[in-house]
Amino acid sequence: MYTNIIIPVEIFSDSPAKRELSSAQYFSNINAGHVHLLAVIPNSVYLRAKKHFVDTKRLKKVLSTLAANRLAELTRRLVLPAGFVHRHIHFGDLNDAIRLLAIKKQADIVILDKGMDSRFSPQSEMDLSGFLQKNEIPVLLL
């Protein structure tokens, strides 16, 4: 049923994503599915931070490290066999990140927090609404 599950996560939030992780855990255990944790660093965050960093390569490394640490923390919360949790980091638009990963991994479902799109720019909110209406992959909104 659901063997490739995508969970976009907010790296700058203290929200533990309990509902998304428990749903992914459930689907993964039933179907021996793989969970793909997707950290998206929005363009707006990158562009704002870029104003304060001279070295943009270092900025990307810092943001990637923050994302990797957040994904590692969430991975520890999932009780799944080794190799069943995968971590992905994307710079850019939430909609594009989900779409690209869904195509690449042939995703069966996206588990998304209802408030996830409100943490992104208004343009991303519109794009996400369009994505939810147009996409062919089931989206579980929690």
> For 85-104, what is each residue's pLDDT tens digit?
999 999 888 878 888 898 88
Q: Residue 72 pLDDT > 60, yes or no?
A: yes
Whole-model pTM?
Answer: 0.79
Q: Please identify which residue in the block is written with the tokens 């991975």.
A: 75
Six token digits for residue 103: 């195509």
What pLDDT is stored for residue 87 in this prediction?
94
Q: Residue 68 pLDDT > 70, yes or no?
A: yes
Q: Which of 9-13, 49-53, 100-104, 128-132 has the highest mean pLDDT?
A: 100-104
Q: What is the pLDDT of residues 27-42, one digit of tens each?
A: 888 888 899 999 988 8
Strands 34-41, 4-9: pairing kind = parallel
What pLDDT is stored for residue 110 in this prediction?
85
- Provide the CB-side half-sphere exposure for 139 (13 A, CA): 19
Helix runs in the chain, H state only? 18-31, 43-50, 56-77, 94-105, 122-134
What pLDDT is stored for residue 89 in this prediction?
94
State how far the Cα of 140 lies from the Cα of 118, in Å rounded to an integer: 17
Which amino acid is located at 48 in the chain? R
State how far the Cα of 69 lies from the Cα of 87, in Å rounded to an integer: 10
The pLDDT mean for the chain works out to: 78
Put the strands of the sheet holding 85-91 in their side by side order. Answer: 85-91, 34-41, 4-9, 109-112, 139-141
**98, 92 in Cβ contact below 8 A?**
no
**35, 84 in Cβ contact below 8 A?**
yes
> Quick one: how far is CA 27 from the chain centroid?
17
Average pLDDT of 6-19? 77
- At 134 the three-state DSSP class reads helix
Report the percent of the chain where pLDDT is more than 70: 80
**3, 33 in Cβ contact below 8 A?**
yes
